[in-house]
Amino acid sequence: MQTIKIPKTDLTPSLLCLGGVPLGSVLDERRSFALLDAFVAQGGTFLDTARVYADWLPGERSTSEKTIGRWLKQRRQRNRLVIATKGAHPELTAMHRPRLDRASIVADLDQSLRNLQTDVIDLYWLHRDDPLTPVAVILDTLQDQLRAGKIRAYGCSNWRAERIAAAQACAQSQGWPGFVADQMLWSLAAVAQETLPDPTMVAMQGALFDLHAASGLPALPYAAQANGYFQRAAEGTLDGMNAASRLLYDTPENRRRSQAVQALAAETGRSISAIVLGYLLGQPFPVLPIVGCRTVTQVEDSCSATDAPLHAAEIARIEGRAGDGTPVPAETFPVQ
C-alpha cells in the first residue's frame, strides 16, 4: 500500500488507517489479532483508536487500546507502526460536558500510554472540542506534551472550521506546529450535519471543506466507507445493515449516488470499494481514510482499493454536479 508523509511531522503512514473500534469488543482477542495481522500483511502501518473505545459496552474500559497494546508487544510491531489515539472525549454519560481542560487531557494521554504499552503516541487527537475554552489554552497543554516527548504530533477531531482556523493562527503566531491533521465524518455518502446521531460529531462540508482545500491540512475521515452502505446497496443486502447506519445513509440522495457508483463500476471495472475510497483519495488535498473493517476479507478488499483516486469529473458526476459545479440534468446522468 502507498505511504504518505504527513506535513510538519516525521510520520509516513500507510494511506489507509485501520479503525480500532471493534478491537477487543465485538471482536475477541484472537479475531482482533487476526485483523491487525491482515492489515499489516497488506502493507498497513497506521492504526486509529481512542481511550473511550469501546466504553459504551459493559465490562472492561479502553478495550481497543489495550488490545492494540498487547498485539504491538506480542508481534514486536511498535516501531513499524504509526499509532494514533484520542483523548478529551466527554464522559459518555455527560456528553454535554466538554473535557478540554489541562487535567483531563493529561490524564487521558497518560492512560492511553499505559493502555498501549508505549512511551509515545505518534499522533494524538483531541476527540472533541469545547468552543468556550480558548484555543491558546488547549494548544499550550498539547505543546507541553510534545516537549515532554509523550506525543510526536497532534490533531483535532470533530472541530468546526472557525475553531481550527483560530487554532492554526494561534499556533503560527507562537511558532508551534499546530494541528497536523483533522478527523471528521466523511464519505461518498451525503450526510447532513443535523441528521448525525451525536451532535458533537462534525461532518465534512462547506467551510470545513474550504479550509482543507485552501490550507492543504490532511483529512482523516471516519465512517469513510459509509459503514458499507454502497457495497450493501449494490449486493441488495441493505436489510442486514445496522439500523442506525441505515437510517443515516439510506436517503433518496444516497440511493441516487449508489446508482451512479454502480454505473461507474460497470463502466470502469472498478470495485464498489475502490470507488467509495477513490472518491476520498481524489479530493484536492491529502486524505487518509480510516476504515472500520470487521473481517479479514473486508481488510483485504479495502486495502486493495486504494490505487484508483477518482478524477474531479467522476466526483462531480457522483455528486450530481457538472464539472463546473452546476447540477447535472437527470437525463445526462447514466443510472442502471
Ligand X SMILES: NC(=O)c1ccc[n+]([C@@H]2O[C@H](COP(=O)([O-])OP(=O)(O)OC[C@H]3O[C@@H](n4cnc5c(N)ncnc54)[C@H](OP(=O)(O)O)[C@@H]3O)[C@@H](O)[C@H]2O)c1
- Name the minimum Å distance from CB 139 to ligand X: 19
Q: Rounded to whole angstroms, what are the CA distances from 229 to 6, 224, 288? A: 29, 11, 20
Q: Is 286 in the site for ligand X (CB under 6 A)?
A: no
Q: Is 273 in the site for ligand X (CB under 6 A)?
A: yes
- 117 neighbors 81 (Cβ within 8 angstroms): no
Least Å from the CB of residue 173 to ligand X: 27
How far apart CA 142 and CA 9 sit, in angstroms, is 15
- Is 298 among the residues that bind ligand X (CB under 6 A)? yes
List 62, 183, 283, 306, residue binding ligand X (CB under 6 A):
183
Candidate ranges 30-38, 94-102, 290-298, 315-323; the one touching ligand X (CB under 6 A): 290-298
- Burial of 217 per CB tally in 10 Å (0-12, 13-18, 19+): buried
Which residues make beta-bridge pairs with 126?
A: 87, 156
Grid coordinates in use for 107?
490524564
Contacts of 324 (CB under 8 A, 6+ apart): none
- Asked if 301 is part of the footprint of ligand X (rule: CB under 6 A), the reply reads yes
Q: Which is nearer to ligand X, 118 or 225 (CB)?
A: 225
**How large is the angle between the packed helices 63-75 and 102-116, nearest 10 degrees?**
40
To ligand X, the closest distance from the beta carbon of 275 in angstroms equals: 12
Number of residues near ligand X (by CB under 6 A):
26
Question: Is 170 an interacting residue with respect to ligand X (CB under 6 A)?
Answer: no
For position 310 contacting ligand X by CB under 6 A, the verdict is: no
With CB under 6 A as the contact rule, the residue among 291, 310, 315, 318 that binds ligand X is 291
Q: Extract the C-alpha cell encoding 146.
A: 510534545
> Scanning residues 144 to 163, which ones bind ligand X (CB under 6 A)?
157-158
Task: Of 145, 225, 239, give the one whose Cα is nearest residue 185.
Answer: 225
Backbone torsions φ then ψ of 219, nearest 5 degrees: -110, 135
Owner of C-alpha cell 464519505: 187
202-241 residues in contact with ligand X (CB under 6 A) are: 222-228, 231
- If one asks whether residue 82 binds ligand X (CB under 6 A), the answer comes out as no
- Contact set for ligand X, span 120-139 (CB under 6 A): 127
Nearest approach, Cβ of residue 21 and ligand X (Å): 3
Does residue 294 interact with ligand X by CB under 6 A? yes
| CA dist list (Å): 166 to 134, 149, 163, 172, 176 | 9, 25, 5, 10, 13
Is residue 67 within the footprint of ligand X (CB under 6 A)?
no
Residue of 150, 141, 123 lying closest to 8 (CA atoms): 123
Among 13, 16, 19, 69, binds ligand X (CB under 6 A): 19
Distance CA 172, CA 180 (A): 12
Within 25-64, the residues that bind ligand X by CB under 6 A are 48
List of residues contacting ligand X (CB under 6 A): 19-21, 48, 127, 157-158, 183, 201, 222-228, 231, 273, 290-294, 298, 301-302
